[in-house]
Each structure stands twice: as structure tokens, then as C-alpha cells.
Amino acid sequence: MNRNKHQLLWLMLPAVLVVLYFAIFQPGAESSRTVTTEENIVDTGPAQVEETDSADIVNNEEPQQEAISANQQEQEVAEDREFINYAFPVLSKWNLQEVKPLLAEVTIAASSDEELNEVMSVLEDRLGDLKYFETPELVATANIEPDQGEDSKLQQYQFIAYYETGEAEIDLVLHRQRENNSLYSFNIHVAN
């Protein structure tokens, strides 16, 4: 019986060695590469395949789209700043009748004329006349729900403005719809 055990061990030894080999030397998932294709391939013999890492693949369309997107963003910011350069001095006159045509329809609908007049009166008393303001900087952009209209988004700008009584931090949100701007909201923070 002892002799049969030794023969069994000798027969199992190659299987154990093969298992150990694959357990120790098998390549990990991160270094294995696969090539897939959607076409049927007829085997015509051995072929040479050059492996490529996914980081080596360059998509020529992405840089072009990014460049177009960056140019479009720069153009929108330039248009927004042009609007702010016109609208902010009008806003700083604190006259609702002059400001109202610049406001977004949603903003007008959300506030009564009395509320807006009260805000204008408080700001005029607190700040006085506008002297100048710094270049507005884009800080955030958000798309509006599709039911609000096509190509509709909010763009938030911040800058410092200087009035008779001192400086104020300005936070303007523009409603941009089909390349037209309006004032969605404004926040004027005056340091004490």
C-alpha cells in the first residue's frame, strides 16, 4: 500500500507544479491587454500584432472640440462683460424704470415693483454714485431646465465696485438665452 501512495504522489506532482507555476507567474489583470474587433476575421496564418496602451491612443476630435469650446467660452465671456459694462452702471443709478428692461422675465415675475424700489432706495442711500468697477470674472455656469427654453443658462460673475461711500463686492448672475443677456439676480455686499 505504501508503494501505491508514492506512485500517486509522483503522478500528482506535475499537476501541482503546473498550478504553482500559474499561481506565481501568471500576469495580473493590469498588465494583460486584449484586442477586440467587430469584424469577422479569416485566419490566414500568423500575424504580427503591435500592442498599444489606451494612453497611447490619440483622438484627434477631442482637442478640436476642446478648442472650439474654449473659443466659444471666451466669446461668451467677452459678450457677457460687454453687457455688464453697459448694465451695471445703469443698475447703479438705482432707478427701477431704467433697470427693469435689463432684468430677466423670471426676476421681474418673482418681485413686485414695490420690493424692487425698496431695494434700489436702500442701495442708493448706502452706496451713492458708482465711481468705477473692476473687470467681472466668471465664477460659475449652470444650464437651466429644458422647459425654460433652448440654449438657456445662468452665468455668475463677481467683481469689486467702487462707490462714493467705499467699495462693494458684486455678485451678478446673468440669464443667457440664445446669445441674449439679462440680469437674473444681483447681490451687492458692502463691508461694514
We report the CATH number of the domain holding residue 126 as 3.10.450.590
pLDDT tens across the length of the chain (192 residues): 555 554 544 444 444 444 434 444 444 444 444 343 444 444 444 444 444 444 444 555 566 677 778 888 899 999 999 999 999 999 999 999 999 999 999 899 998 999 999 999 999 999 999 999 999 999 988 886 655 555 788 999 999 999 999 999 999 999 988 778 999 999 999 876
> What are the counts of helices (DSSP H) followed by strands (DSSP E) for the chain?
5, 5
Does a structural domain hold residue 105? yes
Does a structural domain hold residue 45? no
Does a structural domain hold residue 164? yes
* Neighbour tally for 142: CB within 10 Å: 9
Quote the domain boundaries for residue 169: 62-190
Does a structural domain hold residue 149? yes
Does a structural domain hold residue 7? no
In the prediction, which pLDDT does 19 show? Answer: 40
Does a structural domain hold residue 40? no
Number of domains into which the chain is organized: 1
Does a structural domain hold residue 8? no
Q: Contact, 84 vs 136, CB < 8 A?
A: yes
